Amino acid sequence: MRKFNLLSEGSLLHMPTFKWVFYVLSLLLVLPQILFGSPGTKYTTDNSGLLSNKTNTIFVDSFNIKWFGTDKGISRFDSTNLKWDTINTNTNISGDTYLLNNNIKQIAYERTSYGHEMWVATDSGLSVIAFDIDGVTSATTYVTGESGILNDTITAVGVDAKHNRWIGTPMGISVFAGDKWDTLLTYLDWDDKEQKLSDVVITGVGSYEKDSMAYITTQGTGIIRYSYDEIDGFTGASTMEKNWARFLTDNFNSVTIYDTIQYYGTDNGLRIHYGKECKINWLMYFVEDGLASNNVRAVEVDDSGAIWIGTDKGLNVKYGKKWYTYNSSDGIVNEVINDIKIDTGGVVWIATDGGIEYFTQVPGRQTGGFFPIQARNIVASNVESGSSDISWIIGDEEKRVAFIKEGKDGLVAPVNGTNYAANTVYGQGDEAKGWYCIYNGTGDMVTITGLSPHVMYRVMVCEYSGLPGAEKYVDTTSTGNPANFTTLSSGIEEIISDKFIFFPNPFRSFLEINNINEQGVYQVSIYNLEGKLQGQLNLSGNKARVDTEKLTPGTYIIQISKGENIYCYKVVKQ
């Protein structure tokens, strides 16, 4: 794929003066095109062979032919010869029916001993269409009763590294391995409890080129992870959900895996995961960072590392720290973007509710990345009388440093050019005017010890760039940064504080929480000692009664939060 590296960088230090001047002048001529890119080329039913303007999915084959899945069938486009062909329920060769339904949901590619195949998800079954450079050569359809498909409404389709075909339906998952079918009706949630797949909507299937694990996105339970072989059948891990990995949502729209990095579109922003640790190493981006909308529907990555993001309010491109937006005010064919693909020539194509558009440069205007993005959403979890886990969503600088102090007010002001040594024992790290450094690195969490019982602490995380001795810190505040939390009392019996009273303790079928002279709405969260969320409710007014009938006997942590203040208490169910 061609790289979208629009500013190719030479070595200015080794250029003669006249060449250096020419280089700078050239950049000045190119810069307006980068910051304010021209609209792309559009195809609709008015000027092309597109069957319908509502285009759901794009498939680019190895011959650089584009296949557009619409709600009225498939349009095949040879962009080299500007030739259009159509495939719908009326198309057949030698009695082969290509499609049983014209509403095309997704298309996945598979290469078998028979040649090239498209696996096409529709509302009336699965179509497998064989093709070559000249077009379709044959087709097979799979429906319930005649195959292992659980339901004729196919919501997602994908192929893993072992050539297993994964088919998502409203009833569950079907896998076609070799010439055998297998089905999966349940999954393990974040708490390792078995749940029904019929209770969620499967939206996408992604996998690495050399790893057979399927990453299955859903609306309702985040990401389901499974692999399959004919000997062991389905094997997998618990789901990655908001209760477990701090996603802030369980509604995932799409998955794209590029190299070793996973990109997810959700109804609450863009999620990016790197590294082997599933619970950490997540990047999250929202409207406040530069997104046109938090409802991200499609993601693609080009060879320069630019991230192309389709939302329901237009297109974004994240190029390094800069964000570009392309929407109706810039001339986009339609703001609702359903899919993004890059062809073999590096051209980016988008499928929308109003037609197709392609780009040979970054379109739109810069709307974000003018200032560094600070870390945000600090969360204290597993809070005890002398320790706590602290996590946060990282910003866009290379590293970050976390500080802690007693009290509920104030901001830390790290000094540029100062390298702060961290220590996870309170009071042992380098000090910055009463704040102690507890973390310095590239991650998003730390466990702090040496805290005092029933004391409020304040935590602030600052992004920074630069080598040791040349650090440049971001000391601005952001959403949930800084944040406060209160350690537990030293004894379980101490359940009366200056803010809340819990009764009875120990409890059985209910727990009453009384608010003492505190105004506003608080969020009450109940965690077990493993840090897993057991329930949530809002506390408004002076009293709330919590139904605890379903909780198993044991010790729990009650976390009460409002804004940047977090209070934690330990209670026991008999």
Q: Which CATH number do you get for residue 531?
A: 2.60.40.3080
Interatomic CA distance for residues 421 and 429, integer angstroms: 6
Instruction: Give the pLDDT band (50/70/90) at residue 17.
Output: very low
User: Which of 516, 517, 515, 504 is closest to 548 using CA atoms?
Assistant: 504
**Same domain for 509 and 451:** no
Kindly report the CATH number assigned to the domain that includes residue 261: 2.130.10.10
Instruction: Give the pLDDT band (50/70/90) at residue 122.
Output: very high
Which one is predicted more confidently, 303 or 210?
303
**Same domain for 282 and 187:** yes
Q: Quick check: is 23 in a domain?
A: no
Domain end: 305, 335, 358, which one? 305
Phi/psi at 567 (5° precision): -120, 135
- The answer on pLDDT for 496 being more than 80 is no
Q: Please, is 464 exposed, middle or buried when counting C-beta atoms within 10 Å of its C-beta (0-12, 13-18, 19+)?
A: buried
**Same domain for 263 and 171:** yes
**Same domain for 392 and 268:** no
Weakest-pLDDT range from 96-100, 294-298, 462-466: 96-100
**Same domain for 540 and 478:** no
Domain end: 464, 486, 508, which one? 486
Q: What is the mean pLDDT of residues 424-452?
A: 95
Q: What is the mean pLDDT of residues 92-103?
A: 80
**Same domain for 286 and 388:** no
Most confidently modeled range among 17-21, 191-195, 333-337: 333-337
Instruction: State pTM to two decimals.
Output: 0.75
**Same domain for 505 and 457:** no
Instruction: Give the pLDDT band (50/70/90) at residue 370.
Output: confident
Which one is predicted more confidently, 175 or 259?
175
Return the pLDDT at 260.
85
CB-side neighbour CA atoms (13 Å) of 388: 31
**Same domain for 520 and 436:** no
Weakest-pLDDT range from 280-289, 344-353, 434-443: 280-289
Domain count, the chain: 3
Interatomic CA distance for residues 204 and 214, integer angstroms: 10
Interatomic CA distance for residues 116 and 109, integer angstroms: 8
Domain end: 456, 486, 516, which one? 486
Q: What is the mean pLDDT of residues 189-207?
A: 92
H runs (alpha helix) in 93-224: none
Interatomic CA distance for residues 558 and 505, integer angstroms: 12
The secondary element (H helix, E strand) that includes residue 34 is: helix 17-35
Domain encompassing residue 437: 376-486
Interatomic CA distance for residues 134 and 108, integer angstroms: 19
**Same domain for 255 and 146:** yes
Q: Quick check: is 459 in a domain?
A: yes
Helix (H, G, I), strand (E, B) or coil at 32: helix
Q: Could you tell me which residues are beta bridge partners of residue 184?
A: 173
Q: Quick check: is 2 in a domain?
A: no
Q: What is the mean pLDDT of residues 314-332?
A: 94
**Same domain for 284 and 196:** yes
- The answer on pLDDT for 30 being more than 60 is no
Most confidently modeled range among 233-247, 312-326, 482-496, 558-572: 312-326
Q: Quick check: is 342 in a domain?
A: no
